[in-house]
Amino acid sequence: MQGSESRTAVDWLVSAAADPAACRWEWERNPRGVALLPAGRRWDVLILPGELGHRTLAVLGLLRDRPGPVLAGPAGTRLGFFVPAGTASGWVGTGVRGAGPGTWIAVPYPGLRAGGGIRWLVAPDGSGTLTDPGTLELAMEAAAQAAQAAQPRGGRP
């Protein structure tokens, strides 16, 4: 991410914080380049298990529109998709966790810094673009079907 785009992304992210200056300070001072931001104000985060999350992101990548920001946890074991605020409270899905009001998300600086194991797969661009929940659900279904189709049919003639 370059200069002004990075600043715009930073401004968008810190707008979720009660104290944007403290968030910026944390990014600058934290050796891992991570700050905690509250979910539920500007966005919620749906957290998918690694394999399903990566497959879902691949399906979303086939679409014309850019998905919203996506975080990967350490070793890619979980992916967090930024969705509109209010989505997490109504989401029902096996193995999917929702982060909404009252929860905090560890967020790396949206630039070239290391994130202590947490990294952006799709960095925010500052526009406020979020992944549409309906599109995410369809991508998850397609990803799950593809994973199931790839499974060997053990024990069947």
Q: What is the pTM of this model?
A: 0.89
Strands 119-122 and 104-108 come out as unpaired
Question: Tens-digit pLDDT profile for the chain (157 aa)?
Answer: 455 567 899 999 999 999 999 999 998 888 788 899 999 999 999 999 999 999 999 999 998 678 999 999 988 899 999 999 999 999 987 789 999 999 999 999 987 555 558 999 999 999 999 999 999 999 999 999 988 887 777 655 5
**Cα–Cα distance, 85 to 92 (Å, whole number):** 15
* Residue 136 confidence (pLDDT): 94
Tell me which residue has tokens 């104290």. Answer: 19
Report the distance separating Cα 33 and Cα 28, nearest Å.
7
Distance CA 49, CA 31 (A): 27
Task: Judge contact between 100 and 16, C-beta under 8 A.
Answer: no
